[in-house]
């Protein structure tokens, strides 16, 4: 407050400081702005001293006390600017009246579309991983028929074999999810350090990803576990 500054070649004095607002809807910083009286801008800052652009304005920001007045205010602004620019009825506007809310809506729509795209990619990846895990466990069941036959011959029930296979597939999926989480965190930190980005890794997100991997292993392990539990101990031992 009260300090002299220079705007281009024009000296000025700071008479007020606004509170911080951060980045606006257009992606520009709202804290890197200087406000000057309109008459001062028109006579000393804009265009050439005696040129034709002396009264030109690059941007006008309008703030409404009530957002419900936005449609009427926009219509009135367009009408006034057409009058000031002396535009005939058959001529198009030579200006644009933008509503920051429209920019925010478009940005939110793009964010939603990206979120659905990422969700679809993650779903496909989980399905492919689950199918691969199921095939591995089916091969394991085929290679361990003697083990299952011996277990059932000494008293293990079908529920025991079912539980065994489900525990194995879930543990395998959890191990994969844990390793994948570590790799993802390490890659994020490396990229952020390289690009000088600030990132935040949520513990909840890591735990949710780990739990989802376990759920995928549990779901896709049901069929191999069912196949193992339906083996006939006599046929299993005979096959070996």
Domain boundaries, position 220: 116-239
Specify the pTM: 0.55
Is it the case that residue 47 has pLDDT exceeding 70? no
61 burial class (0-12, 13-18, 19+ CB within 10 angstroms)? exposed
Stretch 136-144: mean pLDDT = 83
Count: domains in the chain: 2
- Domain-located, residue 101: no
- State whether 46 and 136 are in the same domain: no
CB 137 within 8 A of CB 168: yes
CA distance 186 to 175: 17
Domain final residue pick, 64, 84, 104: 84
- Domain-located, residue 197: yes
- Domain-located, residue 66: yes
Is it the case that residue 45 has pLDDT exceeding 80? no
User: pLDDT-based confidence at 51, cuts 50/70/90?
Assistant: low
* CA gyration radius, the chain: 34
- Domain-located, residue 72: yes
CA distance 240 to 237: 5
Domain final residue pick, 62, 84, 106: 84
- State whether 120 and 235 are in the same domain: yes
Is it the case that residue 25 has pLDDT exceeding 70? no
Q: Which residue has the tokens 């194995």?
A: 168
Domain final residue pick, 67, 84, 101: 84
- State whether 73 and 128 are in the same domain: no
* Percent of residues, the chain, with pLDDT higher than 90: 8
- State whether 135 and 199 are in the same domain: yes
pLDDT tens for 86-119 read 888 888 888 888 887 777 788 888 889 999 998 8
CA distance 29 to 6: 20
More confident residue, 205 or 50: 205
Is it the case that residue 123 has pLDDT exceeding 70? yes
The whole-chain average pLDDT of the chain stands at: 83
Q: What is the per-residue pLDDT for 39?
A: 77
Q: What is the per-residue pLDDT for 50?
A: 47
Q: What is the per-residue pLDDT for 26?
A: 60
- State whether 65 and 134 are in the same domain: no
Q: Of 22-31, 142-151, 172-181, 230-239, where does the model show the most confidence? A: 172-181
Q: What is the per-residue pLDDT for 117?
A: 93
Is it the case that residue 203 has pLDDT exceeding 60? yes
pLDDT tens for 157-199 read 888 888 888 888 888 888 988 898 899 889 988 998 888 888 8
Q: What is the per-residue pLDDT for 99?
A: 82
Stretch 130-152: mean pLDDT = 83
Q: Which segment of 47-61, 66-80, 121-135, 166-180 scores lowest on mean pLDDT?
A: 47-61
- Domain-located, residue 94: no
More confident residue, 164 or 43: 164
């Amino acid at each position: 407050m009260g300090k002299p500054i220079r705007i281009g070649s024009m000296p000025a004095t700071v008479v007020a400081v606004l509170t911080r607002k951060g980045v606006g809807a257009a992606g520009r910083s709202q804290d890197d702005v200087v406000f000057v009286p309109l008459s001062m801008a028109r006579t000393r800052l804009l265009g050439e001293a005696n040129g034709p652009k002396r009264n030109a304005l690059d941007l006008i920001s309008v703030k409404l006390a009530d957002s419900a007045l936005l449609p009427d205010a926009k219509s009135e602004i367009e009408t006034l600017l057409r009058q000031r620019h002396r535009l005939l009825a058959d001529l198009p506007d030579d200006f644009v009246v933008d509503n920051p809310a429209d920019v925010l809506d478009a940005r939110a729509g793009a964010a939603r579309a990206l979120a659905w795209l990422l969700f679809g990619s993650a779903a496909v990846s989980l399905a492919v991983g689950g199918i691969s895990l199921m095939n591995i466990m089916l091969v394991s069941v085929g290679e361990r028929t003697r083990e299952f036959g011996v277990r059932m011959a000494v008293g293990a029930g079908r529920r025991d074999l079912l539980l065994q296979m489900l525990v194995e597939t879930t543990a395998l999926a959890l191990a994969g999810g844990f390793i994948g989480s570590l790799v993802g965190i390490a890659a994020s930190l490396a990229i952020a350090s390289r690009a000088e980005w600030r990132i935040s890794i949520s513990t909840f997100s890591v735990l949710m990803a780990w739990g989802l991997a376990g759920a995928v292993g549990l779901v896709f392990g049901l069929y191999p576990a069912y196949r193992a539990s339906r083996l006939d101990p006599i046929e299993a031992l005979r096959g070996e």
